[in-house]
Amino acid sequence: MAQKQTQATKPAETLELDSVLAKQSDLARNALKSITKDTEVGEHLRVEATGQRLVTHFFQCLKPGYKGWVWAVSLTRVPHGRIGTVCETDLLPSEGALLAPPWIPWSERLEPGDLGRKDRTPYNPDDPNLDQGYEATGQDADQLALWELGLGRKRVLNREGRNAAVKRWLRDVHSRTELDRHGNPPEDPCSTCGYLWKISGSLRLEFGLCTNAWSPDDGHVVAMDHTCGAHSETDADLTPSTLPVGRTFLDDKSLQELNPDEITLSGQTADA
């Protein structure tokens, strides 16, 4: 059985403009006096049909800080009535309106230096900086072994030099991990992190270099058992906000009006 379509459910393009309400722009303009100043309402822009015996008048907004916004006033009337009734007044963004940027999750807004030592980064399975781990094989492995023996160099580090370096590096690592001793430090060690750059020689079993720009240890020597929240395989619990996210409006309570003639751009003189 075919359902009967009422006038109120017709698509907007098939609605007929109510000629009585379309002429009552003065009524719509007067309705704006209850929410704004007369000087902040500009010329009448257009009127649109939004339902049966229901129209919306649009006016230019002259309110400071609201360039591109329009005042909208909805009017209706009873059947066979000649006097309109104000249903709603609103301030809406139009073409060229200044709007808040789209919301970006915090995990996508992180930049190097934003994380503290106790913070954890969310897991990124498609990290563009990481590839699957493979063992060195073939000629590259042979060349690496010869290079680590010191071939091509007149002198190499001896046992005393290595021991002194180990003491210095451990002292530096311990000073940077002092904050981790309080609370619950991350569990995943650097030895399993994809951002660990292994060094050559016997010290590679104890130390490596951190190459994670999000880690507080980026560019530093780290011990294999060191931990931080920016481990490549570490994940962070996503806690949704309990606060509702509503529509964003410009806060005109603290709006500062500037004279364009008094504004000086950076790098320019006032009489440039």
* pLDDT tens per residue, range 18-71: 999 999 999 999 999 989 999 999 999 999 999 999 999 999 999 988 888 999
pLDDT band (50, 70, 90) for residue 72: very high
DSSP string, 67-117: TTEEEEEEEE--TT--S-EEEEEEEEE-TT---PPPP--HHHH--TT---T
Cα 103 to chain centroid distance, Å, stands at: 6
Residues in the chain: 272
248-270: average pLDDT: 62
pTM score, two decimals? 0.43
162-184: average pLDDT: 69
Tokens representing 98 are: 């200044």
> What's the DSSP call for residue 48?
E
Which residue segments constitute the domains of the chain, with CATH numbers given?
Answer: 11-93 (3.10.450), 114-122+159-232 (no CATH)
- Whole-angstrom CA distances from 217 to 185, 203, 206 are 15, 18, 16
The answer to whether residue 137 scores a pLDDT higher than 80 is no
The answer to whether residue 181 scores a pLDDT higher than 60 is no
How far is 55 from 19, CA to CA, in rounded Å?
Answer: 10
